[in-house]
Structure 1
């Protein structure tokens, strides 16, 4: 949910996302995992609605779709939530391009934890061990969620430009048909 790409009438989605990260996630002991998931759901339903409004048959590229949000909610403790089951009924992608960036590369890209939010690491503050463990668990849960879908893995340690070009190549190959 990139604020720069949200239409002005959808600014609420960005504010909710920021407030979940700032006001709810850091105080998870004060809120249930279902409360966190309910707030995150606004972004998930927004993504679904945007897909449903897209031109039928036109390829649509969505960064993470609901899979990363679903995985983060599961890691926050909402494993058996009916909300997550509902998300899984949303339109499924015809192709998943999975950017497989090792934690070492993403740790450098996030300025060794300086750019992380609390839903991207374990522990009260970002450190290498909490980040590495969380990212490993997140990758496993995301792979579980896309199991059964056609997945193309793109190496993410090559740098942003090379990774973007690899994703473009997959899209051209897949949607040329």
Structure 2
């Protein structure tokens, strides 16, 4: 792989960015450019512009905007993507946080982690975010619950951690055929 550009989810605080840096260090001797995007949907909708670049996505991928999962993405885009590599890389610890002073039942989550959140707390309104980092930023405005990365948070006296997880993840690196 020469002159490698890897497209994945940003901002820098995302697990996707961490996984991309891990891969570049482990497999490419630090020689690649990582391009971060606001959502996976943004990358997918621009495959034709990224011909011969690479796309890094977790197998837990789920898009509310495109209404697809990783498996559906894999098959739907067979003509545009060529699976090049897969690897395991641990996610940053995940936490479910509750703001105990808010009783509005509003929760924020990335679509891929929403069922984990709903399995642990009773909520009335699920709002999807394109990243766990963004979910936390939105939760700060009006949320009662959020599922995010532990490294993103600064707990206030009004908040508590409901649950904490340290999951492994399988990552897929595709070459974009265009």
Q: So what's the TM-score if we normalise by structure 2?
A: 0.27
Structure showing greater relative contact order (alpha-carbon pairs closer than 8 Å, 6 or more residues apart): 2
Q: So what's the TM-score if we normalise by structure 1?
A: 0.27
- Whichever structure has more strand as a proportion of its residues is 2
- Whichever structure has more helix as a proportion of its residues is 1
